[in-house]
Structure 1
Amino acid sequence: MDLRSIVFAAVALMGVAPSSIASTAVHPAQQQAAPSTPRTTFITTSDGVRLEVLDYGGQGSPILLASGGGMTAHAFDQFAPRLAARHRVFAFTRRALGQSDTPPQDPGNYTLTRLTRDVVEVLDGLKIEKATLAGWSFGGAEISGVAHHFPERVSALVYLDAAYAYVFYAPGNAAPDASNIEIDLADLRDKLQAARFGSKEDAARIYDEVLAKDLADLATDVRAAAERRRLLSKGLAEGPPAPLSKLMTRHNMEKFPAITGIPILAIFSIPGALLDPTADQRADEALQLKWLNEQIDRYRAAHPAARVLTIDGADHDVFNSHPEIVLREIETLLNRSEASR
């Protein structure tokens, strides 16, 4: 599976008219920065896991980069040195990847709450009180966790093809595939458990909320998933995920509402067309782009103050395929953020 196919599989399902989306058409023939060798350090978390942290140097406001699922901090080796021209830049590798420790595959070691705490403890270890957090792909879930639960540690948020269902929940969201259903079920499990062990009053409130909204959300997401499977010529999944990937995914779903009060840049990659596609592939691409545009539109509507940008023909690692645009947009965001303080 090539990178473009991975992108489509990850972002394949969302919606709204493309005309409502501010799109920047760019050709990815831009010069890449020469890779540098960052300094590697390790920070030990409160549960004893050593996390690999890359220090790219630089001066100015601090930026911490969170990589995509299955990737290490070295995914930023081309891009981070350019960002360090004006900022103090770090990246970390989440637990179980790269040189970071791999704790036992117990669900408690891989919840989003735990991964969010890892980000905060990396900031603590670096003695950074407040930073811009930039997340690529699944890294967006971790930085959103910090923004929701530790907002005082966040100066700004940058989503690098990352603002999908695990970052912002809206009924009908499609990417990653079936993630909304996982989010619904995890949220229902937690609420029903709280009702079971809570007070009589709390239980009544929770049950009312579940009946009034949560079951309706689940029904919407199941219908949307069924419709997508009906319309696509074939399913997106190539097979069941590896055990660790499944563990991290199933325990990393939170029903995040919109984020307010923090400057946000959300960049979405719009995949290019397949070369010489079949009729079924053309039809699938059209559906996937439609659903993607709808999901982007939902995100924009819920975050009216955010800068939401789409880049046509970009790779999933948009910071590598279109570094000049990403650098410019980050600088604009941070300059405006500093000017408004």
Structure 2
Amino acid sequence: MEQEAIKVFVGCDPNNCDLEQMMVLDYSIRKHTKHDVEIVWMQLSHDENSAWFSNPKQQQGWHTEKWATPFSGFRWAIPEYCGFKGRAIYMDADVLVLCDLAELWNHPMAAGTMVVGKGGGQVARLCTCVWDCQEAKNHLPPLAQMKQDPDAHQKMMQVLQKNPQWVHYYQDTYNCVDGEGLDIKQIKILHYSDMGTQFSHAYSLPRLRDAGMSHWFDGDILPHPRQDLSALFDEYYQAAVDAGYRPENYAVRPFGVFPKASQVGYTGNGVTRQQQEEGSSKSWLSRSWKKMKSGLKGSKDDFSLDR
């Protein structure tokens, strides 16, 4: 396994909003990974022969109207894309790799499990995961079926809720969501997941404004509470540029308008917004009830799904 190229599938926007994320992710992977890496950028396409084909006007291909991001449902297509052979890593574009990806690529996987992800019990996060493509064939619906179902993404996460034996959970920090209070040295893969506080906004939003475009995220933009992580992203951005990487090298012909769930009123996650909540007018009773609910093991309300 160590001799074959590590296959990495990355979900990203089709209208060039995520160029900075793509550049920094690409650079960070190759900076730390000694093995050959093949990256597939998963972006909506007008090409009928593409696995990511969508034609909203004709209701063909992927139906994206209930997705929180431009790529939410793509992760389920990876095993069939790979011909149900070998392994494949999936990750969102808003990720900074700080370790050799071979660690994750070679992660043990128990018999009968189709994917390695973050979580356990009532939590399943597949925003950085490893697929056993052959095993996944036994559990995933056909790609053509998923494309036509706007609810396919949430349905599949609910299937995993009912069948936790299909997921092998890693215990390391391969999907560290917005720092989680850890020192940078403890983080293997940083996922700056809160769409409102993403470090890349400092670069992408001015670029998009100058081009007369807008970002796909339509919620409020806020500073990230971890300045050390923000500085880390800036460091990797500059290092990528110094190494010859450029955001424009990742640009594609824009896909254009596509239906997507609005993120107006988006509240982020408990890691990035905790400080704001504690300083807000939310009552002690409200915060206590929220904590009590999160402690109820086995509760459906406690099951965490990817966006």
Same fold (TM over 0.5): no
When normalised by structure 2's length, the TM-score is 0.28
Larger Rg: 1
Greater fraction helix: 1
When normalised by structure 1's length, the TM-score is 0.26
